[in-house]
Structure 1
Amino acid sequence: MFKKLINSWQRKKLLDKKYEYLFDNPLKDEYVCLDCETTGLNPKKDEILSIGAVRIKQNKILMRKTLNIFVKPSKEITEESIKIHQIRPIDLQKAIEPKEAILNLLDFIGNRPIVGYYIKFDIAMISKYTKEYIGVSLPNHQIEVSSMYFKTRKRSSDYEFVDLKFDTIMKNLDIPELGKHDALNDALMTSMIFLKLRDLSPANSTFYTG
């Protein structure tokens, strides 16, 4: 009920009615897994440099339905940030303007639930742009794979530590790494985590929203 009220309020704030589809009921058993590389970890001041996304339908990762785009930053990236995201100025030579990138992403996502690893951060970064371009935050359902993984771990008590690092989850689920960590590869690996966890515990196929 509360979610419906928020969606109704958000829908009224849309600057372009074309994007009302974002608030429709999601397609059955379809998802988009995404990952962003950014200049830093502060959504208020940092920027998106690349976005990788892949569609999932039922139990299949649709390798022909992927998105991999570089985004022009408003200023030159620093050496310190390059150490974090591994994106060099040469990688951004064919980058597109942020508005084009974000609107392409919205068309790719549609009303599908969004799957990710610490997805709240990615949604916060994307929403900074969508608020400017279409007037609203990204309204899609969110599914957090680290929460799904946590629920599959057997613990002797509620206080037992569970390692939720990405590489640890990959190793424990016996999922192969796809080479370097970039936005698209991370989205693909996260989609494999999601499908593996969904098989391990069907109850986890329900939405984990932030």
Structure 2
Amino acid sequence: MSWFGWLRAAKPRLDATQQQRLAQLPKPTALGDGSLRSQRWVVVDLETTGLNLNRDQVLSIGAVVIEDGAVDFSQLFERTLHRAETKLSPSVLIHGLGPSAIAAGSDPVQALLEFMEFVGDSPLLAFHARFDQHMLGRALKDSLGYRLAHPFLDVAEIAPMLCPQAPIRDAGLDDWIEYFNLQVGERHHASADALATAELMLILFSRARQQHIDTPQTLQERLSQWKRRKQAPSF
């Protein structure tokens, strides 16, 4: 054993069936030149033990699918993950996941395998996607040894890009819900927030088509250009 062997993270222990399921997960595909409407999108939201990207853990995953220009309510995903030794932060007051719910949760390996089977090769959307992408990617690596490589677009960036006239800056999901007068019955747990984000995204897809952004690839390219302009120094 090398001197630095103890520094290496232990490989996840998967049984033969889990290894086979992991090997059979479809490879993610790049965003293409089909229509926005025909693309299957998975809108995801996570609840976590806190906001520390390197220490906190995923507690629950909620996801819905947008396909054929609508939310497909036959394709919904929700799992609470079992965490044996998790110290809950004040965020429990927001998402409501107490010790009993977490103790009764699904095995993280099983839940994450089921989620990636649900995602398939589809691109992902989230509000403040950088956080969800990092936390989900870390959970997948720790539990499955899986590297998340799916396209992951941020609805919090798409909204101001497509709606520059909106009198809000650095807006949260609630701000955009109010701006578009969306009727959202419930908030602040993963599946409800994923659904609220999906409903917002349907409006944004309509705005995108009005601006001649007709394909997923074009949406990604326009978003990259918009972010570069925002980050460029002003003289």
What's the TM-score once normalised by structure 2's chain length?
A: 0.73
Aligned residues: 192
Structure showing greater radius of gyration is: 2
User: Structure 1: which 5+ residue stretches go unaligned?
Assistant: 1-14
Deviations for 1:15-65, whole angstroms, at most 9, x for unmatched residues?
A: 85323x223456951110010000011231111111100111121101121
Deviations for 1:147-182, whole angstroms, at most 9, x for unmatched residues?
A: 1111133359xxx96241111111111211122321
Do the aligned residues in 2 keep the contact of 1:33 with 1:190 (CA within 8 Å)?
A: yes
CA distance in structure 2 between the partners assigned to 1:151 and 1:25 by the alignment: 21
1:183 aligns with 2:190: yes
1:18 aligns with 2:31: no
Are residues 25 and 120 of structure 1, via their aligned partners in 2, closer, same or farther at CA, if it must alter by over 3 Å? same
1:53 aligns with 2:63: yes
Do the aligned residues in 2 keep the contact of 1:99 with 1:129 (CA within 8 Å)?
A: no
Shift of 1:142: 1.2
Do the aligned residues in 2 keep the contact of 1:40 with 1:46 (CA within 8 Å)?
A: yes
Are residues 79 and 127 of structure 1, via their aligned partners in 2, closer, same or farther at CA, if it must alter by over 3 Å? closer
Which AA in structure 2 matches 1:88?
A: G
1:94 aligns with 2:101: no
Do the aligned residues in 2 keep the contact of 1:102 with 1:126 (CA within 8 Å)?
A: no
User: Structure 2: which 5+ residue stretches go unaligned?
Assistant: 1-18, 33-37, 228-235
Which AA in structure 2 matches 1:184?
A: S
Q: Mapping of 1:155-170 within 5 angstroms?
A: 162-170=169-177
CA RMSD of aligned residues (A): 2.6
The equivalent residue for 1:150 is 160
CA distance in structure 2 between the partners assigned to 1:76 and 1:131 by the alignment: 19
Identical-pair percentage: 22
* Aligned residue among 128, 137, 147 for 2:147: 137
Are residues 176 and 78 of structure 1, via their aligned partners in 2, closer, same or farther at CA, if it must alter by over 3 Å? same
CA distance in structure 2 between the partners assigned to 1:61 and 1:148 by the alignment: 18
CA distance in structure 2 between the partners assigned to 1:115 and 1:83 by the alignment: 25
1:83 aligns with 2:88: no
* Aligned residue among 94, 116, 120 for 1:110: 120
Q: Mapping of 1:38-77 within 5 angstroms?
A: 38-77=48-87
Are residues 95 and 82 of structure 1, via their aligned partners in 2, closer, same or farther at CA, if it must alter by over 3 Å? same
Which AA in structure 1 matches 2:184?
A: E
Deviations for 1:122-152, whole angstroms, at most 9, x for unmatched residues?
A: 1111111222344343111112111111113
> What SS does structure 1 have at the residue aligned with 2:78?
strand
Do the aligned residues in 1 keep the contact of 2:29 with 2:122 (CA within 8 Å)?
A: no
CA distance in structure 2 between the partners assigned to 1:133 and 1:186 by the alignment: 24
Which AA in structure 2 matches 1:174?
A: N
